[in-house]
């Protein structure tokens, strides 16, 4: 029973640290979201797959798997616009090369909206159905959801542990 309590306490502390980090980073990312007015809509473009190439990424496994394989290979499919405007779109297809090669061989075009970032010589691509406003809204919704869930866990942890501490001091 004591071992179960110590494991539960350890997991609770790890979740507490994770919630605090998630709350911090979500609030930091919320403050760095560009407003929709910072993007110039360059329209919807048709992209065709052009090449597949491997990229090394950090392996997020744990234990022996991470020690034996600190990096993993993922395959990127690079798309280019059909109209020659020079825009590119990169899709990370995962760690199976045949999946990426299949995308390249079928050559099926996709449509993406291009948003130019005002004041910078860069752009982003988003779903063709989205706009700069919906893109901004989706980012805000994601980070607010993470912040709310993290804050709720932190408050719950404080309440439960405060109650337990109160009961211990009162001898109940």
What does the pLDDT look like over 118-142, one tens digit per residue?
888 899 999 999 999 999 999 999 9
CA dist., res. 136 & res. 7, Å (int)? 41
Percentage of the chain modeled with pLDDT above 90:
63
CA dist., res. 113 & res. 115, Å (int)? 7
Q: Are strands 122-127 and 110-117 parallel, antiparallel or unpaired?
A: antiparallel
CA dist., res. 37 & res. 118, Å (int)? 9
Rounded to two decimals, the pTM is 0.75
Provide the pLDDT confidence category of residue 61 given band limits of 50, 70 and 90: confident
Look at residue 62 and tell me whether its pLDDT is greater than 80: no
CA dist., res. 5 & res. 143, Å (int)? 33
- Beta strands in the chain, from DSSP E residues, in sequence order: 39-58, 71-81, 88-94, 110-117, 122-127
């Amino acid at each position: 029973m004591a071992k179960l309590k110590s494991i539960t306490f350890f997991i609770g502390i790890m979740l507490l640290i994770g919630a605090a980090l998630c709350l911090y980073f979500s609030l930091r990312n919320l403050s760095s979201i560009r407003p929709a007015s910072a993007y110039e809509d360059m329209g919807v473009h048709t992209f065709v797959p052009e090449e597949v190439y491997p990229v090394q990424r950090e392996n997020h496994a744990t234990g022996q798997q991470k020690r034996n394989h600190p990096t993993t290979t993922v395959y990127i499919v690079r798309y280019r616009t059909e109209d020659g405007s020079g825009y590119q779109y990169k899709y990370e297809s995962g760690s199976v090369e045949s999946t990426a090669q299949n995308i390249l061989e079928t050559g099926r075009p996709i449509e993406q909206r291009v948003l130019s970032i005002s004041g910078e010589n860069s752009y982003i691509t988003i779903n063709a159905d989205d706009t700069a406003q919906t893109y901004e809204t989706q980012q805000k919704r994601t980070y607010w959801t993470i912040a709310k869930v993290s804050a709720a866990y932190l408050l719950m942890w404080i309440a439960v542990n405060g109650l337990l501490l109160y009961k211990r001091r009162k001898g109940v």
